[in-house]
């Protein structure tokens, strides 16, 4: 059943207390370090709040012609302490933010590696990459400039307002009026910034998906003359991100400049009110200067709170996209089955019992009650027209998908009772397109068995007729093979994939058209290899070549999601019209 994973985010309450709880989950492991950074920020605030009081005393002593040396020294010490504590606190918060981003990325990547194949089918890899890179980066700003600065900014602003009230109540009233206007403005504008930011991040994800599509089939794009069309697809997503980002920038500019304008009006109003009081003798010049210093100082915490609110909107959008990915279904881990380990390396048996399966609720059924039995050992070939459900058999054996009904049995045990690790460790799987990963030839060969000894690697290279390949490459086994093995031929990539599967020493080998890109000589050699392997383990082959099919111990003919017939080549040619047609006119061709 296909799931609308984007709806998960729409249904989840990312605002208010629920959003804060989600945010807290990200920073909770480092809450004590954050507390330390917060205390340093508060200490910075305290030193800043003391400065106007010292300045007021300094001005008072200056007018009284008293000594100023002690106050000047104290003022200098406070300024140095303010700078030192601020730098240390900022460094600590940035370091904590880096740690949160690292842990978030590691957790998300670990989760993505365990999501079901069906979930991956329903999502764009490029968009998931953006969530693990771009969106996690945005969490950094929330932690370093949002969470703690918001708390310390609020406390510092409150303390500043209290001290301003102690200095002069009338001027405090003027200041509170301006602060209230700023709060109302931010309450209206900042949610708009959040909406624009979410649109920006969605568009960036779409752009990443379009880039992955284009670069993943780079040669096909060039050969098809589709550079302009694919570029337009990427550019459209980039423009959507740009438009949303411009809207966010507009509202950010409105908030920033309105705050500055309000501060200027507050400064002017306080100056006029305070100047009148100085002229009437109600307060001293030092008191006015101290209050103005507090007013200027208050702008820092207000800007911190504004920035924190804006960053929270950005971070909430990023976290919602990260949480969407985290909510993707992961593969289930079944109960422990120690008896399975006792089977050692003996061949595995396979049975399908009335299996029905579809890839999603909106998709047609692929298997309509498929049943067959494969005994341990030997080679079994699956043949049939395209779309008959042959490759799906292999995907269900590997538990990339679960059947809608019926049973799939390995060694007589339902695959749902196997742990995934032991199940897949017992299976060697060569996909239809024989993917080779970016990296060296050695890394690709040892991908499924990194601890395989060199003698075993050499033996498998000989078996798959790859022994001379390292000698032809500039750095031997350590030669970089390029993105998706582009520096290898199609036949070499297929043989590398077969060698990789054999190095796992499987009990069951699944070959999905594994010889389709081999020339006649290498195909014959591979056929001999498969025949040798089939003497030791169970081999299942999806084949379109008559030469491969005729060497099978048994052949299973599939059509339209059903098993039409089972038997040997000679028997099926005589008794099954579909197989006879395939063998003579269509898919089971003898040529390349």
What residue spans define the domains of the chain? 5-326, 436-505
What is the reported pLDDT for 306? 75
| pLDDT surpasses 90 at 521 | no
Q: pLDDT of 169-180, one tens digit each? A: 888 887 787 777
- Among 163-167, 420-424, 476-480, the least confident range: 163-167
Tokens encoding 441: 């030839």
| Residue 30, CA distances (Å) to 27, 146, 183, 313 in order | 6, 15, 30, 22
Q: pLDDT of 342-381, one tens digit each? A: 345 689 999 999 999 998 888 899 999 999 999 998 999 9
3-state secondary structure of 42: helix
Tokens encoding 305: 């709170």
Task: Judge contact between 380 and 541, C-beta under 8 A.
Answer: yes
What is the reported pLDDT for 557? 94
Give the residue, 526 or 323, on which the prediction is more confident.
323
User: Would you place residue 340 in the very low, low, confident or very high pLDDT band (cuts 50, 70, 90)?
Assistant: very low
DSSP string, 309-378: HHHHHHHHHHHHHHHHHHTS-BPPP----GGGGGGTTPPPPEEEEEEEEESSTTS-EEEEEEEEEE-SSE
| pLDDT surpasses 70 at 396 | yes
The answer to whether the predicted template modeling score (pTM) of the entire model surpasses 0.85 is: no
Q: Which CATH class is domain 5-326?
A: mainly alpha
Bridge partners for 429 per DSSP: 510
Query: Are β-strands 365-374 and 350-358 bridged in parallel, bridged antiparallel, or unpaired?
Result: antiparallel
| pLDDT surpasses 90 at 382 | yes
Q: Taking the domain 436-505, which CATH number applies?
A: 3.40.50.300
Write the CB contacts of 128 (distance below 8 Å, at least 6 apart in sequence): 112, 325
Tokens encoding 159: 């303390």
What is the reported pLDDT for 83? 75
What is the reported pLDDT for 336? 41
Question: Mean pLDDT, to the nearest integer, of 528-545?
Answer: 84
| pLDDT surpasses 80 at 398 | yes
What is the reported pLDDT for 6? 41
| pLDDT surpasses 70 at 400 | yes
3-state secondary structure of 555: strand
Question: Mean pLDDT, to the nearest integer, of 265-293?
Answer: 80
d(CA 387, CA 252): 54
Give the highest mean pLDDT range of 100-104, 208-212, 453-457, 512-516: 453-457
Q: What is the mean pLDDT of the chain?
A: 78
Name the DSSP letter for residue 561. Answer: T
**Percent of the chain's residues with pLDDT above 70:** 81
- E strand map for 418-513: 427-430, 508-512
Question: Mean pLDDT, to the nearest integer, of 417-442?
Answer: 85
What is the reported pLDDT for 534? 83
What is the reported pLDDT for 527? 76
Question: Mean pLDDT, to the nearest integer, of 502-508?
Answer: 88
What is the reported pLDDT for 366? 92
């Amino acid at each position: 059943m296909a799931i609308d994973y984007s709806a998960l985010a729409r249904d989840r309450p990312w605002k208010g207390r629920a959003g804060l709880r989600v945010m807290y989950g990200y920073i909770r492991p480092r809450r004590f370090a954050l507390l330390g950074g917060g205390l340093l920020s508060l200490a910075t605030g305290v030193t800043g709040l003391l400065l106007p009081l010292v300045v007021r005393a300094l001005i008072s002593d200056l007018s009284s012609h008293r000594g100023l040396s002690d106050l000047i020294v104290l003022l200098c010490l406070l300024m140095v302490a303010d700078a030192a504590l601020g730098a240390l606190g900022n460094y600590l918060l940035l370091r904590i933010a880096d740690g949160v981003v690292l842990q978030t990325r590691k957790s998300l990547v670990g989760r993505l590696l365990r999501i079901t194949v069906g979930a991956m089918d329903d999502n764009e890899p490029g968009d998931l990459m953006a969530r693990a890179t771009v969106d996690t980066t945005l969490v950094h700003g929330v932690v370093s400039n949002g969470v703690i600065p918001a708390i310390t900014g609020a406390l510092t602003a409150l303390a500043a307002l209290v001290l301003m009230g102690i200095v002069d109540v009338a001027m405090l009233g003027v200041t509170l009026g301006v602060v209230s206007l700023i709060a109302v403005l931010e309450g209206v504008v900042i949610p708009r910034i959040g909406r624009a930011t979410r649109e920006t991040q969605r568009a960036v994800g779409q752009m990443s998906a379009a880039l992955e599509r284009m670069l993943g089939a780079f040669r096909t794009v060039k050969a098809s003359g589709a550079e302009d069309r694919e570029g337009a697809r990427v550019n459209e997503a980039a423009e959507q991100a740009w438009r949303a980002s411009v809207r966010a920038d507009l509202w950010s500019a409105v908030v920033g400049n309105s705050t500055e304008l309000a501060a200027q009006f507050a400064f002017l109003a306080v100056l006029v009110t305070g100047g009148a009081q100085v002229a009437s003798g109600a307060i001293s010049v030092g008191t006015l200067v101290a209050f103005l210093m507090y007013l200027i100082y208050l702008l820092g915490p207000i800007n911190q709170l504004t920035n924190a609110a804006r960053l929270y909107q950005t971070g909430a959008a990023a976290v919602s996209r990260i949480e969407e990915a985290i909510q993707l279904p992961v593969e289930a881990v079944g109960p422990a089955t120690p008896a399975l380990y006792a089977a050692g390396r003996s061949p595995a048996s396979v049975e399908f019992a009335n299996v029905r399966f579809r890839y999603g609720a909106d998709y047609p059924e692929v298997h309509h009650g498929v049943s067959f039995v494969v005994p341990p050992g030997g080679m079994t070939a699956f043949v049939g027209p395209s779309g008959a459900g042959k490759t799906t058999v292999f995907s269900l054996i590997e538990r990339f998908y679960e059947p809608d009904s019926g049973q799939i049995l390995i060694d007589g045990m339902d695959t749902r009772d196997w742990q995934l690790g032991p199940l897949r460790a017992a299976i060697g799987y060569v996909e239809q397109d024989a993917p080779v990963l970016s990296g060296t030839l050695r890394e690709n060969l040892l991908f499924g068995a990194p601890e395989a000894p060199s003698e075993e690697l050499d033996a498998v290279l000989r078996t798959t007729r790859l022994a001379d390949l390292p000698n032809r490459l500039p750095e031997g086994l350590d030669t970089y093979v390029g993105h998706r093995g582009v520096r290898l031929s199609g036949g070499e990539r297929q043989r590398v994939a077969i060698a990789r599967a054999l190095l796992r020493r499987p009990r069951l080998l699944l070959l999905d058209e594994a010889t389709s890109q081999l020339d006649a000589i290498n195909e014959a050699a591979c056929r001999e290899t498969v025949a040798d392997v089939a003497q030791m383990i169970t081999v299942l082959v999806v084949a379109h070549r008559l030469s491969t099919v005729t060497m099978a111990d048994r052949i299973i003919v599939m059509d339209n999601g059903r098993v039409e017939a089972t038997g040997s080549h000679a028997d099926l040619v005589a008794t099954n019209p579909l197989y006879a047609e395939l063998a003579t006119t269509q898919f089971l061709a003898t040529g390349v």
